[in-house]
Amino acid sequence: MTATGLQVTSGLLAAVRVRHWTKNALVLAPLLPAADRLSPQALLGAAGAFVIFCLISSAIYLVNDVVDVQTDRAHPVKRHRPIAAGTVSPRTALGAAGALAVAGLALASVHSVELLLVAATYVAVLLAYCLWLKREPVVELGIVASGFLLRALAGAVAASIPLSPWFLLAAGFGSLFVAAGKRYAEAQRAYQGAETVRTVVRAYSRSYLRFVWTTAAALVIATYALWAFQVHNQRDSAWSMVSTVPFVVAVLRYAINVDAGHAEEPEDVILHDRMLLALGALWVVLLLLAVFA
């Protein structure tokens, strides 16, 4: 392989944002409350859903970077992205995106029509976002949130786990909370005079975004509590109700980062906050106790 080929390969690996694959761990969330009923096939299905979303989300990242190449070149950080920096050509990026999307959808079709439908919906909605809807205030916020929600839904479909409406609502409002936090961080930079903030972000006031993420935080706590009480009634275990404590504290802890304008990259906030990681681990333990104890 030539040196240029090595650079392109390295650039593509950077452009697909492997470190963002941590978001795809959301496909595993529906497995926790059903841990005692999981079969090897369910675990394999969830693992497959994780791989599928790694492939199709990376395809969307490539398309998005091609669409935003001129804007990224004016950004102090994003100008170093491979496509904006010229390491990977737009044609090569789009070819790789097509291959990744086809591979992901093909894997989904092998599993089931339902999983294919969820994966195809993700691709269609996020492509519409990249090409058009990212410039529409509020709509684009909902689409960013839907990306997180569809991951959780895919995990449930892949593992054949029936989802509680309260769980879906909690996942949806949690996704909106994270998405609004991302936009709030961008809006903070806009009001500090940064010229590289996207036009759609300037359409939001900080007070409006604060209203959105505050409302979403309240609703995710309420719907999670209702789900936890539903699990308690089904399993006659108090551990699910106890799990609301680390859950609420984690939401409040994450909100500190949102309020400070540091939540533009959610995965960075979570992976570098030891207290959030500890609260997440405690939450998982309590849910497993609710299932097995």
pTM: 0.87
Q: pLDDT tens-digit profile of 260-286?
A: 888 888 888 888 899 999 999 999 999
Residues of the chain short of pLDDT 50, as ranges, are 1-3
**C-alpha–C-alpha distance, residues 101 and 121, integer Å:** 12
| Token digits of residue 6 | 């090595």
- Residue 194: the pLDDT is 61
Number of other CB atoms surrounding residue 39 within 10 Å: 10
Report the candidate in 50, 59, 232 with the shortest Cα–Cα distance to residue 157.
50
pLDDT at site 196? 65
Residue 115 tokens read as 């999983």
- What pLDDT sits at residue 193? 66
Torsion of CA 245, 251, 256, 261, to 10 degrees: 180
pLDDT of residue 108: 96
> What is the per-residue pLDDT for 1?
43
Q: Domain spans of the chain? A: 41-161, 164-293
Position 167 scores a pLDDT of 87
Question: Which architecture does CATH list for 41-161?
Answer: Orthogonal Bundle (1.10)
- For the stretch 30-55, pLDDT in tens is 888 888 788 889 899 999 999 999 99
CB 33 within 8 A of CB 41: no
Find the helix packing angle between 40-67 and 3-15, rounded to 10°: 110
Q: What is the pLDDT of residue 263?
A: 86
Sign of the torsion formed by the C-alpha atoms of 221, 223, 224 and 225? positive
